[in-house]
Structure 1
């Protein structure tokens, strides 16, 4: 690492630790507030102070979770039951909530390591500037002292994450809630898909087949007395049959595009790009070209993600160019298909305006995947989908 980059990283780590030290000193005040609230609650008349202290503690813990996640890049989830109901219920939840117990445990520990690590920063900077300056300037060796500050910041973030991470029981309950919501969304999406298929069959193929049957009946009655009319009706019936076949192909493509079966995900996405009306650059990882194919449900979700994204870009964004990246990452334990679509349009995509993003979310959530949408006003719009692959 070069010296300017080292100094920037060390400075960021120092700011992180110094803020942590200031937060640790603030936590001393929090302890006093907590003891006061607990004492007031014992007097009954001041029982309302305890839930308010718990809410304040949640805000402080949330601030630390955000700091740790920003530094380490690893999110620290939180799970709190709402403090609602009458005063007795709020006090009971404040006392019995396991997340509050974990926040209090972090509060007590952070009283020690927060200020201690910030004091270490104040000592390491002058030592590092002197020692590392001589070590690097005269001996041309990598600095040794200043990098310790970054390691201390990593240590602080790791300790905070361990202390503030919800318990396995809470995480399991949260996961069950998430899967329940995902299942409900999948059922809703499935019902909407069935209604769409029924509507397409009724308004399209069925209407053409009824007209075909009527023309065949008229041609049969006119066959002996008016061959020319019968021939014309048969020609019209053939046209109706071809239109009905076209409608059926359209319905089938909406269920599972045949191009996916014939050409695989990479070929199907390239076909989408070629027919989108935009200049689309498609990048496909080698693992998707030469390795085993992803499960059919995953390929279908990825295909429709690209199709919907390119359709939105062409219709709503005013974009002329777009990129599609397909990647397969992971190991034997967890393999993820990542789809990223980016256009150069005006941005400002709104899921509440029927742009198809909610449909993408439902389809991806049904497979336990994730969707990330970035679409600031003025653009660009980027949609990234991750789909776990289980063979």
Structure 2
């Protein structure tokens, strides 16, 4: 009984807000009429894009209200309303997402009004239901009907506000275009980094190595001791060049990933980070490995996150959690530092986001002032 009352109370709150929104939309009819007349008269055509944007916000509020009841998100699929007045008018007239919003609004004038008319009868029905359940010891009748009515209202709103397949496809193409641009930018940045590392590190050491060998050859006949010293220096220079080359190779695809897998590589990062890091492998150490590109992206996120934590967080504590899901691999890196991480401050967050986006993954950062900083990544893959 108590659970039925709680669900009915929550359903009543949902339906009350839905009815209030419907009442507000009746007041909005005047705005629609003014925009329609102004557009037909041409002189007020600038009103149409503004009205469409306002309708999008109203539909967005209804999507949020419905999502809170059902727990299932209703996505949006709108083209941007930018450019000249002519371009904005073209979008306003041709946007299928806005067409569906107006269709929902017209339908909501009908079934939302029914909700508003039924609300005054609910207190009386609840009293009767309480007497029915309390005196006659029968199951309540009205409470389940209220919950069912809220479910029906949410189902209708979901069906009317869900983007059309064409709009969803257009939005997906736009997302993939943005992702492709980010992936190209990340690739170019990586190439520039490799070129810089090779030029400033390995190449400089190899040039110095060549010069020392040349000097040793000249000194070999008349000063063998000096030649031997130069060869010793050349050997040190060769070792430095090899170290630089290994550093560059690790930046492309860390060999430790191939040798130890993602869990082993992350544990090695944690041990060398200078922080006290707990690693929760989520059972990945004993399971099937993710594709190489996914492991490399996850490794990069963990490495960059721990580096940032060591440099900027002001704490010695961090944690890494890896988990396998039905959709792919999730990574969470948390540090207990001061927070306030800013993606525009050059701390590597943008590079992480681009690398994850290139694999069609999601990247979220939560870093309030005072901490903690939490980085959540989901990388889709087939296990």
Contact 1:51 1:83 in 2 (8 A): no
Correspondence 1:169-318 to 2 at 5 A: 169-286=166-283, 288-318=284-314
Contact 1:68 1:161 in 2 (8 A): yes
Offset of residue 304 of structure 1: 0.5
Q: Work out the CA distance in 1 between the residues paired with 2:115 and 2:250.
A: 60
Residue 82 of structure 1 corresponds to which residue in structure 2? 81
Residue 322 of structure 2 corresponds to which residue in structure 1? 326
Q: Note the alpha carbon deviations across 1:264-320, whole angstroms, 9 max, x for none.
A: 00111111111112221111122x222221110100000010111111111111122
Contact 1:106 1:163 in 2 (8 A): yes
Runs (5+) with no aligned partner, structure 2: none
When normalised by structure 1's length, the TM-score is: 0.87
108-117 or 177-186: which moved more? 108-117
Q: Work out the CA distance in 2 between the residues paired with 1:130 and 1:307.
A: 64
After superposition, the Cα gap between the structure-2 partners of 1:336 and 1:128, relative to the gap in structure 1 and judged at 3 Å, is: farther
Residue 166 of structure 1 corresponds to which residue in structure 2? 163
Residue 363 of structure 2 corresponds to which residue in structure 1? 371
Q: Work out the CA distance in 1 between the residues paired with 2:90 and 2:218.
A: 84
Offset of residue 47 of structure 1: 4.3
361-370 or 222-231: which moved more? 222-231
Residue 334 of structure 2 corresponds to residue 336 of structure 1: no
Offset of residue 11 of structure 1: 3.4
Offset of residue 8 of structure 1: 5.0
Contact 1:129 1:146 in 2 (8 A): no
Contact 1:268 1:303 in 2 (8 A): yes
90-99 or 377-386: which moved more? 90-99
Contact 1:37 1:46 in 2 (8 A): yes
Count of residue pairs the alignment pairs up:
379
After superposition, the Cα gap between the structure-2 partners of 1:186 and 1:53, relative to the gap in structure 1 and judged at 3 Å, is: closer
Residue 21 of structure 2 corresponds to residue 23 of structure 1: yes
Q: Note the alpha carbon deviations across 1:159-193, whole angstroms, 9 max, x for none.
A: 32221122211221111111111111111111111
Q: Work out the CA distance in 2 between the residues paired with 1:73 and 1:323.
A: 30
After superposition, the Cα gap between the structure-2 partners of 1:92 and 1:231, relative to the gap in structure 1 and judged at 3 Å, is: closer
Tell me how large the CA RMSD over aligned residues is.
Answer: 2.7
When normalised by structure 2's length, the TM-score is: 0.89
Q: Work out the CA distance in 1 between the residues paired with 2:304 and 2:99.
A: 46
After superposition, the Cα gap between the structure-2 partners of 1:379 and 1:158, relative to the gap in structure 1 and judged at 3 Å, is: farther
Contact 2:8 2:147 in 1 (8 A): yes
Offset of residue 133 of structure 1: 5.4
SS of match in other structure, 2:234: helix
Offset of residue 236 of structure 1: 1.2
Offset of residue 10 of structure 1: 4.3
SS of match in other structure, 1:209: helix
Offset of residue 242 of structure 1: 1.1
Q: Note the alpha carbon deviations across 1:317-352, whole angstroms, 9 max, x for none.
A: 11222121111111xxxx311111111111111001
Runs (5+) with no aligned partner, structure 1: none
Contact 2:79 2:91 in 1 (8 A): no
Offset of residue 51 of structure 1: 4.0
